Structure 1
Amino acid sequence: MPADNHSLAGVAAEPGVVKPDPIVKGSKITRQFGGLKAVDVEHLEIQRGVITALIGPNGAGKTTLFNLLTGFDVPDSGEWSFNGTSLQKVPAYKVARRGMVRTFQLTKVLSKLTVIENMRLGATGQRGEKFWSAPFRALWSSQEDANTKRADELLARFKLDAKREDFAGSLSGGQRKLLEMARSLMVDPELIMLDEPMAGVNPALKQSLLGHVKSLRDEGRTVLFVEHDMDMVRDISDWVIVMAQGQIVAEGTPDQVMSNPAVIDAYLGAHHDTDITELDESSLEAAAEAELDEEATHG
């Protein structure tokens, strides 16, 4: 664990544990779809300034929880806050303006706009978007120039500057992930939430993405990400939260969580005397799906 994240050193490895300086807090958050309770989180805290991984088998409720926290979905019950301010009934665009942004498992780049146009759209409070000022370039040109300068700096940082004038739809899957991450930084966020940043990314770009995620923490930002790649989780995470069947079943450092019998239970449905990183991801998913099928058959 990096030296600047020593504040988590004495935190107990247990579900819903209280953190020294949480940037996000949530309690009794539930979301039900028909007869399925997709999210049932009693208490959640995300520590400021660290990289937290949110893991669990398919269908555990990870992305649904992301959607609830960021205003893309509405919970049935519960309360949650960002920097001590409630986010209940706050729409997604206002959540982003407050400094809490997210990316998606399936990237949301605007394919028929160029890369630089996608970046400019990430900036908030643009005077040129207002009805009364849009016809008068003099009122907003300096702001757009500043936004373009920041966008170009970020494109260079993410090694996308050579693609500046290309249509975003022409980028590879990995490059789209990079673009989405770069665009999220246009609002200078405090918290960045990444939904499976490594999904569909070729090995050549994985190390680049890993380095960028670490650099976000080095800048003092907070990162929360959903991921199935256990090697990545162990490599860059300061803290890990494990979900299963909508609930948080374990928390701790990567080493504590990977050897936790409750975590192995969550993936395989039975205790196994092994480390979770030694298990093949496809086998984990197949076993989890088989367990769900069995429950459905006998339920």
Structure 2
Amino acid sequence: MAAELSEARAALAGVSNEPGAPKPDPIVKGSNITRTFGGLKAVDVEHIEIQRGVITALIGPNGAGKTTLFNLLTGFDEPNEGDWSFNGKSLAKVPAYKVARRGMVRTFQLTKVLSKLTVIENMRLGATGQRGERFFSAAFKSLWSSQEDANTTRADELLARFKLDAKREDFAGSLSGGQRKLLEMARALMVDPELIMLDEPMAGVNPALKQSLLGHVKSLRDEGRTVLFVEHDMDMVRDISDWVIVMAQGQIVAEGTPKSVMADQRVIDAYLGAHHDTDITEIDVADLEAEAEAELVAEAEENKS
């Protein structure tokens, strides 16, 4: 597994830093994806590829379209146009639950745990293909009890891994914000996904749990899974990501390794504005004074009339 991870990372070394650059082994590919809300074009992505087996960060200022793109890729929203695929199979018009069954799952910025169910019940719900949920077999426990036992065993293993085993019988609504993030991540693993997408996993998490979450995200990659996450914490992005994609105003404006992206002028412009670094000494002070004087004269003339 370590050799595969090293190979996946090494393959990125030859990838261009231009938006939509092709990857050696993409697990997700999308083209001409747009989504408008009224007169606002929230997403306008010409091309995007996500490399298999690495951690990719999706960053950008607020309102850049990152979460909307997540919703489109995972079937929680429909684009106005565009097509995208997972493992070479189109996901256009595929509902969210079927996307998850194919091995592409996500978490949410605002956690979606079921507060009035216990932690272990939340975990069991994450498993797919449960025979006990079918109408005709539900009445016959012998048909599904062994499967539920296996799901419970897997759930307990994941709870122990995420240090939530002590909360097993607690209601999910009693967990802290950080613990809910851990529960959502653990529940997502019940389907044994190939790609896990995390929407701002560090949002609202206290410093004590943040390091734990970072370790868990890295462990997902170390197991051979692909991780795509949205995040505003640049320290986290530099620490764990192998590749970074930058969005601004619905478009991909840059991508590359964390080091190259942080030094990219397009990224600096996207976050701080294209002219954030203009030195006031470079501005013609005489022109400013003349402009101000002209405004005063115009105002005086208006008052006379």
Q: Normalising by the residue count of structure 2, what TM-score does the alignment of the two structures yield?
A: 0.88
Aligned to 1:199: 203
Q: Distance in 2 between matches of 1:128 and 1:7?
A: 44
1:123 equivalent in alignment to 2:127: yes
Query: What root-mean-square deviation, in Å, do the aligned CA atoms of Structure 1 and Structure 2 show?
Result: 1.0
Instruction: Give 1:204 deviation, angstroms.
Output: 0.1
> 68, 85, 90: which one pairs with 1:86?
90
Instruction: Report 1:36-51 matches (<5 A).
Output: 36-51=40-55
Query: Could you report, residue by residue, the CA deviation over 1:233-257 in whole angstroms, capped at 9, with x for unpaired residues?
Result: 0000000000000000000000000
Residue identity in the other structure for 2:150: A
Residue identity in the other structure for 1:124: T
Instruction: Report 1:110-259 matches (<5 A).
Output: 110-259=114-263
1:261 equivalent in alignment to 2:270: no
Residue identity in the other structure for 1:215: S
Aligned to 1:53: 57
Q: Distance in 2 between matches of 1:252 and 1:109?
A: 34
SS state at 1:57 partner? coil
Contact 2:57 2:245 in 1 (8 A): yes
Residue identity in the other structure for 1:191: L
Residue identity in the other structure for 1:255: K
Q: Distance in 2 between matches of 1:158 and 1:40?
A: 37
Contact 1:261 1:271 in 2 (8 A): no
SS state at 1:263 partner? helix
Contact 2:75 2:94 in 1 (8 A): yes
Instruction: Give 1:269 deviation, angstroms.
Output: 1.0
Aligned to 1:5: 9
SS state at 1:189 partner? coil
SS state at 1:9 partner? helix
Q: Normalising by the residue count of structure 1, what TM-score does the alignment of the two structures yield?
A: 0.90
Q: How many residues align?
A: 273
Question: Which structure is larger by alpha-carbon Rg, 1 or 2?
Answer: 2
Residue identity in the other structure for 2:238: R
Q: Distance in 2 between matches of 1:149 and 1:84?
A: 33
Identity %: 88
Unaligned 5+ segments in structure 2 are 278-305
Instruction: Give 1:268 deviation, angstroms.
Output: 1.1
Aligned to 1:285: none
SS state at 1:25 partner? strand
1:33 equivalent in alignment to 2:33: no
Contact 1:29 1:41 in 2 (8 A): yes
Contact 1:19 1:45 in 2 (8 A): yes
Query: Could you report, residue by residue, the CA deviation over 1:41-100 in whole angstroms, capped at 9, with x for unpaired residues?
Result: 000000000000000000000000000000000000000000000000000000000000
Aligned to 1:283: none
Instruction: Give 1:270 deviation, angstroms.
Output: 2.1
Residue identity in the other structure for 1:87: L
Q: Distance in 2 between matches of 1:212 and 1:173?
A: 16
Residue identity in the other structure for 2:251: Q
Aligned to 1:101: 105
Instruction: Give 1:154 deviation, angstroms.
Output: 0.2
SS state at 2:267 partner? helix
SS state at 2:105 partner? strand
SS state at 2:42 partner? strand
Query: Could you report, residue by residue, the CA deviation over 1:173-230 in whole angstroms, capped at 9, with x for unpaired residues?
Result: 0000000000000000000000000000000000000000000000000000000000
Contact 2:8 2:52 in 1 (8 A): no
Q: Distance in 1 between matches of 2:108 and 2:8?
A: 28
Instruction: Give 1:4 deviation, angstroms.
Output: 4.7
Residue identity in the other structure for 2:229: F
